[in-house]
Amino acid sequence: MNMPFLTAALPGIGGQMRTLPEDFQVVERPLYLPCGEGEHLYVKIRKRLLSTPDLILRMSSVLELKAQAIGVAGLKDARAVTTQMVSLLDVTPERLDRLKLDEQLLSVEVLGRHRNRLRPGHHAGNHFRLVIRDVATHARETVPLVTDMLVQRGVPNYFGPQRQGRSGQNYQIGAELLVDPARRNRLGRSKRMWYLNAYQSHFFNDMLARRLYRLDRVLVGDWAMKMENGACFLVEDAVKEQPRADRFEISPTGILFGSRVSWAVGEPGEIERAVVAESGATPESLTEAAKACPLASFSTRESPQRGPGRLTGSAARTDLVLLIRRTVRPRGYASGVCSPAVSPGKRRALARRGWAGERGEHFEQPAGGLPQSFPRRTGSEWLHMGGS
């Protein structure tokens, strides 16, 4: 399914992304700093062309440490220059001398000791610096128009196409696994979670696409999310709540179906039911199937937009190169603001969605099983500086 762009009326700027690893830089923002005591040594790692799993393997081997003793807050891209915090159990600063810096491991900085291991999600987001080369000559005029629209209305929070694999059919496998315990049990946990998650995101993207041009409007029957803490509530008076949506204090949400999540009612509920009905399912059948699937208790909703807090920084063009700086909250994706910019001309396949807080092996499940805001995850208004 090709996701429509909010900025489709504007021309795409084309261009090439990630020509060099330095064109894609990520700096993880810590949720907290080490307190100064404890059995875990926190270090800041800057690396190039080295994925987080490969970093863990390297540190495990060189430091003679079990992989389980190494903690990270999120996964970072390999084809990039990335900075992130790592926790090491029972390791002294002197032992780090075994780690030799090279063209992949650029720097290792000791931050201090802490009582707990870093775990997925223990970060405050990521700051991205992206370079898009060989953009169209009209980019200087187009980019401000696109960024203004996204700042005013929010960034559509699509799941990226990589979620569905090269064939684009991962969601179909997820649908089959949800009702086939024998087949589900033959797969490893990470793989079956990935396929089930793809099934969720398939519905989510379709729901977002149907509400794209009302992305910033709350409707009676919506589950709206408070952006400050992720708590959701049922909208009973849309006129009353709309000013809060205009200030990006709340966002309408789209469902990632599961065993405990609440479906929308009214017009939003009709949209959700229509989407799943086209696949021969109903909210009731999906809920029951999820209850019977121990790994599918993923009651949650997602936000269809990202507010201006997720589209911060600057975009500047010099000599046919577009530089984008963007800070993304946990579980948000910088890719969502680049699609629009690079648009179909040269890059129909968008960059991978592995951004802040990537947790591809898990269902999207906020604390307490509360709904999450509408079409979220990766987003795909990739600074599609327009173009359809």
Sheet strands (E) in 3-137 = 16-17, 24-30, 40-48, 70-72, 81-89, 105-114, 123-133
What tokens appear for 204 in the block? 């989510």
Contact 385, 344 (CB under 8 A): no
Q: Would you call 246 a catalytic residue per the annotation?
A: no
Query: Which position among 23, 77, 206, 222 bears the catalytic label?
Result: 77
How far apart, in whole angstroms, are the C-alpha atoms of residue 318 and residue 323?
Answer: 8
CA dist., res. 164 & res. 15, Å (int): 24
CA distance 258 to 202: 14
Distance CA 164, CA 367 (A): 26
State how far the Cα of 132 lies from the Cα of 149, in Å rounded to an integer: 20
* Helix (H), strand (E) at residue 4: none
**CA separation (Å) from 107 to 18, 45, 83, 218, 376?**
22, 6, 9, 46, 33
Q: What sections of 89-219 are H helices per DSSP?
A: 139-153, 170-178, 181-185, 189-210
Task: Judge contact between 346 and 15, C-beta under 8 A.
Answer: yes
How many other CB atoms are found less than 10 A from the CB of residue 126?
Answer: 27
Per-residue tokens: 51: 């994925």
Residues 6 or more apart whose Cβ sits within 8 Å of residue 300:
255, 256, 258, 261, 363, 364, 365, 366, 369, 370, 371, 372
Q: Who's near 342: CB < 8 A, 6+ residues apart?
A: 12, 13, 14, 15, 17, 132, 350, 382, 383, 384, 385
Catalytic residues: 77
